[in-house]
C-alpha cells in the first residue's frame, strides 16, 4: 500500500475513511515536509515511478514473450545486456516468461524495473526466491541505480540484505487491512535495532510486546567435547531392507 501511494497509484486517506481528502488537502497536510514536494511532482508528472511487484509468481499471467525480447523492448537506459549478465539471466534470453522458476522470475522482474529510466525505483521484497549469492548480486544492481536526483525505495524482511542495501531505514507497523504507520527515517543500525526491539524511542511507543533477539545459548560452555557429542540419547533403531539386509543401531 505504501509503495502504491508513493507511486501515485493510490491516494492516502489520512485516516478519513468516510470522507477521503482531495489532493489539495493532502498537500496541505504534508506542508513543509519533503512529501509535499514529492506528491506535487508526482501530480505534475515531473516524477516517473516504477515498481517491482512483490508477487513475482503472478508475472507469467500478465507478461508473455521471451526474456531477452522483453528486456530489449523495456530498455530505456541501454543497460539491458549488462543487467542480464549481472543477474545471471544471459542464458535465459530465449526462454519464455511462463517457463521461468521463482528465482528466475524474481531476477527478471528486477531487471525489467532496472532498465527503465525513472526518478523513483521501488522494489518490493527483491530477495524472495533468491539464494545468498543471488541476493548480493541483486543488491549490487539496486545500489548501482543510485543517483543524486532519484529515489530508491526497498521493502525487505531480510535484515542482512536490508543492512547491505540501505542508507536509511523506516520501520512499518500496523494491522493488515486496517492501518499502517511508518516511522521517521533512522540510520541503518538504529532502524534495524528498533525493528528487533519493537520499540520506537523517539516516539516512546512499543509496537510489539516481544523483542526479537538472537542470543547464542551458553548452556553447554562448561561441557567437554565428548559430553557435547553424547549429550543427546537416541532410542534403538532397526532398519530392514528386503530379507538380506538388517541394520541395528
pLDDT tens digit sequence for 102-117: 999 999 999 999 999 9
Give the model's pLDDT for residue 221. 61
- Provide the 10 A C-beta neighbour count for residue 76: 13
What's the rounded Cα separation, in Å, for the pair 106 and 112? 10
Give the model's pLDDT for residue 115. 94
Q: Output the furthest CA–CA distance in the chain (Å, rounded).
A: 83
Phi/psi region, residue 222 (left: phi>0; alpha: psi -120 to 50; beta: rest), is: alpha
Q: Which residues, other chains included, contact 240 with Cβ-Cβ below 8 Å and sequence gap of 6+? A: 246, 247
All cell numbers assigned to 241: 531392507
| Backbone phi, psi, residue 63, to 5° | -120, 130
Give the model's pLDDT for residue 14. 83
Give the model's pLDDT for residue 110. 95
What's the rounded Cα separation, in Å, for the pair 68 and 81? 9
Give the model's pLDDT for residue 216. 62
Query: Among candidates 86, 68, 93, 95, which has minimal Cα distance to 134?
Result: 86
pLDDT tens digit sequence for 207-229: 989 898 876 655 556 667 766 66
pLDDT < 50 regions, the chain: none
Amino acid at each position: 500500500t505504501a509503495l502504491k501511494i508513493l507511486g501515485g497509484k493510490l491516494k492516502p486517506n489520512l485516516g478519513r475513511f468516510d470522507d477521503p481528502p482531495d489532493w489539495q488537502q493532502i498537500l496541505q497536510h504534508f506542508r513543509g515536509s519533503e512529501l509535499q514536494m514529492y506528491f506535487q511532482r508526482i501530480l505534475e508528472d515531473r516524477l516517473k515511478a516504477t515498481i517491482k511487484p512483490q508477487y513475482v509468481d503472478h508475472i507469467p499471467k500478465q507478461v508473455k514473450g521471451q526474456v531477452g525480447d522483453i528486456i530489449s523492448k523495456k530498455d530505456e537506459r541501454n543497460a539491458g545486456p549488462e543487467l542480464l549478465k549481472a543477474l545471471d539471466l544471459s542464458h535465459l534470453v530465449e526462454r519464455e516468461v511462463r517457463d521461468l522458476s521463482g528465482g528466475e522470475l524474481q531476477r527478471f522482474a528486477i531487471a525489467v524495473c532496472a532498465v527503465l529510466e525513472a526518478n523513483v525505483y521501488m522494489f518490493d521484497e527483491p530477495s524472495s526466491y533468491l539464494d545468498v549469492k543471488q541476493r548480493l548480486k541483486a543488491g549490487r544492481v539496486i545500489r548501482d541505480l543510485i543517483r543524486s536526483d532519484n529515489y530508491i525505495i526497498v521493502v525487505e524482511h531480510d535484515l542482512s540484505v536490508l543492512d547491505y542495501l540501505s542508507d536509511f531505514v523506516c520501520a512499518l507497523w500496523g494491522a493488515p487491512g486496517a492501518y499502517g504507520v511508518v516511522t521517521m527515517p533512522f540510520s541503518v543500525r538504529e532502524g534495524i535495532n528498533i525493528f528487533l526491539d519493537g520499540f520506537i524511542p523517539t516516539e516512546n511507543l512499543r509496537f510489539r510486546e516481544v523483542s526479537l533477539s538472537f542470543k547464542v545459548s551458553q548452556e553447554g560452555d562448561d561441557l567437554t567435547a565428548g559430553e557435547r557429542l553424547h549429550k543427546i540419547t537416541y532410542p534403538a533403531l532397526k532398519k530392514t531392507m528386503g530379507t538380506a539386509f538388517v541394520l541395528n543401531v
